[in-house]
Amino acid sequence: MIITAMRNWRPEPGDLLEWRPTEQARAVADAAPVEADPPTFLQQTHVRGFLAKQQRGGPHRAFLGVTTEVEGDLDEDALTRALTSYVHRHDGLHTFFSAAGPAIVRHRIDSTAIDFEVHNAGALEQTDAFADYIHHRFENDATSIRWPGFAFGAVRRPGSFTIYYGCDHAFSDGASQVLALSELVDRYRAEVDGSEPSVYTSAPTGGFPDYACTEHALAQAHTAESPELAEWLQIFESHGSTMPAFALDLGLAPSETAPVRPVEFDLLDTAGTDAFDAVCKAAGGKLISGIYAALAITDYELAGRPEYYGMSVLNSRDVGNYALSQGWFCNFAPVAFRTADASSFRELMPLAHEGHLRSKRLARVPVQAVIMALLASGASAEEVAKSPHMLSYIDFRWFPGVGSTPYEKGLLFTGEGETANASMWINRDHSHLYFGSQTPDTPQARNELSRYHEHLHRVIAAVARDGDYAIPRSTVVDEGLILARHNN
């Protein structure tokens, strides 16, 4: 399983099959009542953004997708049963959203009405034509304002088939997509073989609407006296009351965006990854802490930043029985630590690890509580609403299905719209440590990002090869000038 650009998904020709709700299920969904409990903050923000973009006539790109190859002739009935039982298991997938004045509300379909049927959408004869087809499918079906909020289908050919699942971000995240693929394949195999699904597929899980209630309660519990919230605000204010931004100038004006240009490359092979991991542990941290240290060194050497300041994407599944659930279980927290006081990677590692652990602790504060506190502290609404520069890290070695052919052939991707950031996805599996980013497609951004990515690669490779990396002291410049440049 790897995260890659959507354009790298090129299934072999075959018959295009689409699973859609039955006419009766669709009628029940269209009349689904409003629930009293609200969506999560991220869901509300996401749906408002979707509706605003829809009014402007813009394309829907806020979806995630996953696909793999399965050996054997496709059994349509078995896959229909697998999909239906999968949706029954996850009650967040029984819902969709609408606007009720300024509020975003959740609707829930009666679970007894959930039913799907397969439709033949014609033949895929040229692989190049698939991109247009699947973009249209995801844009129209994988949305938050109509049930089921996902698009499921297959490309059938003799002896094998491609399976795919694209879901609106309101109902999913990266981990959920990986879990969805493993569960759907496992359920399908069980239906074909007449066996029982694995414990990962059949174990009880918490529902995302319940998680939304938990999140709202946690947000209300974090007041101005909350130590985690106070520490969050202190980090924000000590960095000029600005959200983290990429270290180099990408050539975009404030609020300007550009079409996405995907970037991806290998950082280390298996042996190199193990070596880098060993250095990180010997220096008092973990691999993810080492990644932060390498980023900090790159920011320091290329931009003169004396302190690393970034935003971490962390999962929030540990507030209940949500380890195997489907939903958007994400929160965000700052990572900040001094770089200028260290003379080497190993010397920086304890600081990076402390910054990482603090970020995990601060992620206990739901994002809506943070935003309200930031605004109450006098931070500008424009800065608070700005999308920060973020890092996501996933270790794909620990998901259900790892080692199986469908899992190892799996691809995970996101929609590609416009961006002003160069946020990063750095991931590990049994084969390598690799890098991905969705970057602005402008000449200046391409030049600056190429320089940045090459330097980051060199730092990580040197640590894996030599066991350390010396931080040149000649990089040090006037910190007041650096802070002023960073805040602007």
pLDDT grade for 152, boundaries at 50, 70 and 90: very high
Q: Does the pLDDT at position 482 exceed 50?
A: no
pLDDT tens-digit series, residues 423-470:
999 999 999 999 999 999 999 999 999 999 999 999 999 999 999 999
Tokens matching residue 77: 């009935």
The pLDDT-based confidence of 481 (bands split at 50, 70, 90) is very low
d(CA 482, CA 488): 10
| pLDDT value of residue 129 | 86
pLDDT higher than threshold 50 for residue 488: no
Q: Which DSSP helix (H) or strand (E) runs through 108?
A: strand 103-108
CA angle 221, 310, 483 (to 5 degrees): 110
Q: Check whether 126 has a pLDDT greater than 90.
A: no
Q: What's the rounded Cα separation, in Å, for the pair 25 and 162?
A: 26
369-386 pLDDT per residue, tens: 999 999 999 999 999 988
Average pLDDT of the residues in 104-124: 96
The per-residue pLDDT for range 332-359, each reduced to its tens digit, is 999 999 999 999 999 999 999 999 999 9
Close Cβ partners of 71 (under 8 Å, ≥ 6 residues apart): 159, 160, 405
Three-state secondary-structure class, residue 62: coil
How high is the pLDDT of residue 254? 86
Q: Answer yes or no: are the C-beta atoms of 306 and 334 closer than 8 Å.
A: no
Specify the DSSP element, H or E, that contains 153. Answer: strand 150-157
Confidence of residue 192 (pLDDT cuts 50, 70, 90): very high
User: Rounded to whole angstroms, what are the CA distances from 90 to 26, 173, 407, 427, 439?
Assistant: 18, 14, 21, 26, 33
Residue in 3, 180, 217 with CA at minimum distance from that of residue 82: 180
Per the CB < 8 A criterion, the answer to whether 441 and 420 are in contact is no
Task: Band the pLDDT of 128: cuts 50, 70, 90.
Answer: confident
SS3 172: coil
Distance CA 44, CA 217 (A): 16
3-class SS at 361?
A: helix
Question: Across the strands, what pairs with 424?
Answer: 391, 437
Gyration radius (Cα) of the chain, Å: 23
Instruction: Please state, rounded to an integer, the average pLDDT across all residues of the chain.
Output: 94
Helix (H, G, I), strand (E, B) or coil at 374: helix
Whether the predicted pLDDT of 478 surpasses 60: no
pLDDT given for residue 487 in this prediction? 41
To which residue do tokens 């390498």 refer?
Answer: 294
Indicate whether 317 pLDDT > 90: yes
Length of the chain counted residue by residue: 488
- Region 58-73: mean pLDDT is 96
pLDDT surpassing 90 at residue 255: no
Q: What are phi and psi of 193, to 5 degrees?
A: -85, -15
H or E stretch at 395: strand 390-395
pLDDT category of residue 286 using cuts at 50, 70 and 90 = very high
DSSP reduced 3-state for 383: helix
For residues 360 and 314, is the Cβ–Cβ distance under 8 A? Answer: yes
pLDDT at site 474: 53
Q: Any idea which residue has 């490779």 for tokens? A: 461
Beta bridge partners of 331: 314
Q: Dump pLDDT digits (tens) for 204-248.
A: 899 999 999 999 999 999 987 889 999 999 999 999 999 999 999
Sorting pLDDT into bands at 50, 70 and 90, what band is 127?
A: confident
pLDDT at 259 over 90: yes
**Does residue 486 carry a pLDDT above 90?**
no
Task: State yes or no: pLDDT of 473 exceeds 90.
Answer: no
Cis peptide before 38, with omega less than 30 degrees from 0?
no
Q: Looking at residues 38-57, what average pLDDT do you find?
A: 95
pTM value is: 0.94
The first and second tokens of residue 84, run together, are: 């239906």
List CB contacts of 282: < 8 A, sequence separation 6 or more: 346
According to the 3-state scheme, what is the secondary structure of 216-255? HHHHHHCCCCCHHHHHHHHHHHHCCCCCCCCCCCCCCCCC
